[in-house]
Structures are given as structure tokens and as C-alpha cells.
Amino acid sequence: MITTDFVPGSPCMLDLGTPDVRAAAAFYGTVLGWSFEAMGAPEEPEGGMFRKDGGIVAGLGKLTEEGARSAWMIYYSVADADSTTRAVEAANGTVRLAPRDLDEWGRMAQYTDPQGAQFAVWQPGTTKGVDLVDAPGTLSWTELYTTDATAAKEFYGTVLGWQFGEMEMPGGGGTYTLITPSGLPEDRMHGGLMELSEQHLARTGGKPYWHPVFAVTDCDAAVAEVTGNGGSVQMGPDDAEGVGRLASCLDPWGAEFVVLAPARS
């Protein structure tokens, strides 16, 4: 499970890049029950923060990179963004955004792994990360679709110190790799990765990518809000034994996320 102690290697925040900040704020407000705190001119904000029950759960910003697609960016906590950057380069990753300070809040950097998936890190200052996780309307899991699971495990194990476990997918669906921060027990798993062929990643031109999983109380109701507000469903809703009921969705601008109603223990 994801918690807010944010040990090194654990997901600690996320933000969405979108071409339409106000419309995206309205979409996720309806689907996940978020409120939006705008930054900049209220009539045309450049970004802001999503809140749930008063706590920050995600960020939102307008796409500024030419040719960039709308997508969620997941940040992982690190003790030192500069040394992490050196580790990324040594492991044949690419630095998209060199380490930089965001006032007193913290220091961040963004990267691309050797297979092409983008991710980011956060070195905490006064801000450790989001305020709420692993509750309805908040981040509950992170997931990587990659074209080379072995290479991905080697890269992220080196850069973020992750430890891995394997499980077989039902019905011969392949192997799913479970991710846990270094030195923590299995009940602190925070994500997974799965190998897919480029043909199965056609929507992104064959490029691997990370996406967030958001907990919801009712998966079918969340899906109805997605499709009723301009989004679409790629897969599901389906029941996964021991996991819950989930669906893979796209927002109106093509950013992927999963909604999951966890199985009751």
C-alpha cells in the first residue's frame, strides 16, 4: 500500500499535463470528487492543485512542451535529486528536466528510462508530497507498461533501489512484477510493471509509460462519469481476484488512468 511517510523510492506526488486546465479540472472533479485550487488568472489558469477532503492529492498544469501528449507524471521520493540524476545517466536513462529547486518546497527532476517511459523524482523540502493516498479519490497504485521488463527492473532497481516480486496473471496473461521500496515488507508494495509488445502500446506509438491507479468506492459509477464527461474506457470494468473491480480509462485529452474499487478484506 502507498502511505504518506514517503520513504525513498516510494511514490509521493503526481501531476497531469493537459492542453485545457479548466476543462480537465472539471472532468476530474466530477470523476474523482476533487476540488481545484487555481494558480494564475482564475479565468485562464496555468495550473493548480487538486484537493480531496481539504488535502492535496495531485497537481495540474498546462502542456507547454511542443508535441507532448497529455499524460500523468508520477514523482518518486529521493534523498538527493542530483545523485539520482547521475544514477539515471549512468544507467542509460535520459534527463528531461535537470534538478531544480521549487522555492523551499523541494527539488525535482524528470527523466526518461532507457525504454522510453517518463517519470520524475522529488527531493523533499518543506513539502514531502501529497496529503492523502490510498483512500477513495486518491492515488493507490502506480503501474508501468514496458517493452522490456528485465531491463526496466535493472534500471529502476539501480536508480531507485526497488525490490521486486513476481506473480502470474490469471488465464495465462503473463507475469506481473510487484514493486516495493528498498528494505520494506511486501505490505508496502506501491506499484507494478508488466511487459507488453509495441503492438499493445499502439496508442503511444509503441512507447512504454507510467500511469496512476486511483481508488474509488464504485468502479462502475466512476466509469459512467468518465464516459459521460467526454472520457473513454480502454478496458473493463473487470473483477480481479484479490484486487478488486477496475477499469482502464482515458480522459478527454488521452491521459490514461485506472479506477479501482479495492476488494474487501
Q: Indicate the domain borders of the chain.
A: 11-124, 139-262
- Between helix 21-32 and helix 219-228 the angle, nearest 10°, is 150
The pLDDT of residue 69: 85
Long-range Cβ pairs for the range 96-102 (8 Å, 24+): 99/123, 101/125
- Three-state DSSP at 263 gives coil
Pairwise CA distance, residues 134 & 140, whole Å: 4
Q: CATH topology of 11-124 equal to that of 139-262?
A: yes
On the question of a cis peptide bond just before residue 252, with omega within 30 degrees of 0, the verdict is no
The answer to whether 122 and 76 are in contact (CB under 8 A) is yes
Tell me which residue has cell 529502476: 156
DSSP string over 210-238 = EEEEEE-S-HHHHHHHHHHTT-EEEEEEE
Per CATH, the number for 11-124 is 3.10.180.10
Which phi and psi (to 5°) does residue 226 adopt? -60, -55
The pLDDT of residue 221: 97
Q: C-alpha grid cell for residue 56? A: 492535496
The pLDDT of residue 108: 97
Measuring CA to CA, which residue among 182, 139, 189 is closest to residue 159? Answer: 182
The pLDDT of residue 19: 94
The pLDDT of residue 42: 66
The answer to whether 257 and 59 are in contact (CB under 8 A) is no
Mean pLDDT by 10 residues, the chain (265 residues): 93 96 96 92 81 97 83 97 98 97 96 98 97 97 96 98 89 84 94 92 90 97 98 93 92 97 83
The pLDDT of residue 112: 98
Question: How do beta strands 106-112 and 191-195 pair?
Answer: unpaired
pTM of the predicted protein model: 0.95
The pLDDT of residue 15: 97
Using a 10 angstrom Cβ sphere, with 0-12 exposed, 13-18 middle and 19 or more buried, the burial of residue 138 is: buried
Q: Give the fold, CATH level 3, of 139-262.
A: 2,3-Dihydroxybiphenyl 1,2-Dioxygenase; domain 1 (3.10.180)
The pLDDT of residue 171: 65
The pLDDT of residue 137: 97
Pairwise CA distance, residues 209 & 69, whole Å: 12
